[in-house]
């Protein structure tokens, strides 16, 4: 299934002159990456940069587990289940990021719903000297945001090439953003945040980057990097270009792919993708998505990664993403104003997140089994 967006329609003529289109040969397959292992509702994947080459998977109920490629068992790196509220389908331990200097400083970050509350919490922790386990006593809470409802918590925590930490935060839930958080600038809800976790300042356990777009603006939280997002479930940086790609889950009709830019307003809750939401007036200067699709082909986007691995040259520069509900996987190729999007697979597996290994190869996590109790990790191949 393919959709052409209005602002790009003129560029998407014929075979998109100057842009090699995706072809049937680009179809992908999912190969079980760790066939001996299953996971409890996996929501994230990465590979450690500390020289051990161990892999890490996030489990929604509150664990980070590590393992080597051929292991038949997992090592529990962090057990946060007693501190995690995972009562709702969209709550739990939701994201994690290892510090770029994890090898030397043993620092990592988690984003979770605190037990007994709807507080979405960003915390810093340290690992033990051997990096095999987290030190639970080391937790330092950086940010806590009270969610009005159980859903639309976001979110992804990820480091940029600039060394700053980014967090995507949902609008607080229910439906339609009833508190209009998308366009409010004195809340962390419906925002992309950017902080300096290494240099605390002004009484906070983190610093504010001097070039954040709203520093010094009265009535605006300086942590805000971009705003007007609904439920920015998964985002990632292109390791080559540094662009920040986001899959923002839609409301009634549309799902969208965005490139997040400094100071950008993505229009929610006046816009749903390119379209007016509930006949609200347009937001001046709102940034439109680079891609959208209707709910007849998918109802819950899972943002992915731009492929920068070395094994599959046909996928170079292709943004690989999916829809949790329809299980479709697409590849989006972009060059300037020219965009081509094609379905690469429909594996019948509910895809929750994507990740990369050290070489830039792309993996994904799934919910499977009765009640989604059993999850797997797959590697994208051709």
CATH of the domain at 125: 2.120.10.30
Cβ neighbors of 244 (< 8 A, separation 6 or more) are 160, 166, 192, 235, 236, 237, 238, 259, 260, 261
Q: What is the span of the domain harbouring residue 297? A: 29-381
pLDDT for 41 equals 96
Is residue 87 a part of any domain in this protein? Answer: yes
Residue 315 is classified by DSSP as G
In 182-317, DSSP assigns E strands to: 191-195, 224-227, 232-237, 244-248, 254-260, 271-272, 275-276, 291-294, 301-306
pLDDT for 24 equals 67
Of 342, 255, 350, 247, the closest CA to residue 296 belongs to 255
Is residue 21 a part of any domain in this protein? Answer: no
Residue matched to tokens 């709807």: 118
Is residue 51 a part of any domain in this protein? Answer: yes
Q: Which stretches of the chain score pLDDT less than 50?
A: 1-18
pLDDT for 373 equals 76
CB 252, CB 295: distance < 8 Å: yes
pLDDT for 324 equals 98
Structure-block tokens of residue 338: 């020219």
pLDDT for 10 equals 33
Is residue 10 a part of any domain in this protein? Answer: no
pLDDT for 233 equals 98
Structure-block tokens of residue 221: 């939280």
Domain count, the chain: 1
Rounded Cα distance between 236 and 227, Å, is: 17
| Ramachandran assignment for 21, one of left (phi > 0), alpha (psi -120 to 50 degrees), beta (any other) | beta
Is residue 318 a part of any domain in this protein? Answer: yes
Length of the chain: 382
Other Cβ atoms less than 10 A from the Cβ of 172: the count is 25
Give the number of C-alpha atoms closer than 13 A to the C-alpha of residue 247, restricted to the C-beta side: 27
pLDDT for 358 equals 98
Query: Phi/psi of residue 315, each to 5°?
Result: -95, 0
Residue 351 is classified by DSSP as E
Rounded Cα distance between 62 and 321, Å, is: 25
Is residue 11 a part of any domain in this protein? Answer: no
């Amino acid at each position: 299934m393919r959709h052409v967006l209005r602002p790009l329609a003129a560029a998407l003529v014929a075979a998109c002159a100057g842009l090699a289109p995706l072809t049937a040969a680009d179809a992908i397959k999912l190969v079980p990456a760790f066939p001996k292992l299953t996971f409890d509702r996996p929501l994230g994947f990465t590979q450690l940069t500390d020289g051990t080459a161990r892999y890490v998977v996030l489990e929604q109920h509150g664990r980070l587990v590590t393992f080597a490629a051929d292991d038949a068992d997992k090592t529990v790196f962090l057990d946060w289940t007693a501190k995690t509220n995972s009562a709702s389908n969209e709550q739990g331990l939701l994201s994690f990021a290892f510090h770029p200097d994890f090898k030397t400083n043993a620092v990592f970050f988690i984003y979770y719903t605190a037990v007994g509350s709807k507080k979405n919490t960003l915390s810093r922790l340290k690992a033990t000297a051997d990096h095999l386990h987290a030190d639970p006593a080391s937790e330092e809470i950086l940010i806590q945001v009270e969610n009005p409802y159980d859903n639309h918590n976001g979110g992804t925590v990820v480091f940029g090439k600039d060394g700053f930490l980014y967090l995507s935060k949902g609008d607080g839930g229910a439906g339609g953003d009833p508190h209009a958080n998308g366009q409010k600038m004195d809340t962390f809800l419906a925002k992309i945040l950017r902080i300096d976790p290494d240099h605390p300042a002004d009484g906070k356990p983190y610093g504010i980057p001097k070039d954040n777009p709203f520093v010094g603006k009265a009535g605006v939280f300086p942590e805000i990097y971009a705003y007007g997002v609904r439920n920015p479930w998964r985002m990632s940086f292109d390791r080559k270009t540094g662009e920040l790609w986001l899959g923002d889950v839609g409301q009634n009709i549309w799902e969208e792919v965005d490139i997040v830019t400094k100071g950008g307003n993505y229009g929610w809750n006046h816009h749903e993708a390119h379209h007016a939401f509930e006949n609200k007036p347009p937001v001046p200067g709102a940034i439109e998505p680079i891609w959208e699709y209707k709910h007849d082909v998918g109802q819950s986007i899972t943002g992915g990664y731009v492929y920068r691995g070395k094994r599959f040259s046909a996928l170079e520069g292709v943004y690989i993403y999916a829809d949790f509900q329809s299980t479709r996987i697409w590849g989006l190729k972009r060059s300037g104003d020219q965009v081509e999007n094609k379905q690469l697979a429909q594996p019948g597996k509910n895809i929750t997140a994507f990740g990369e290994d050290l070489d830039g190869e792309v993996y994904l996590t799934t919910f499977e089994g009765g009640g989604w109790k059993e999850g797997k990790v797959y590697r994208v191949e051709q």
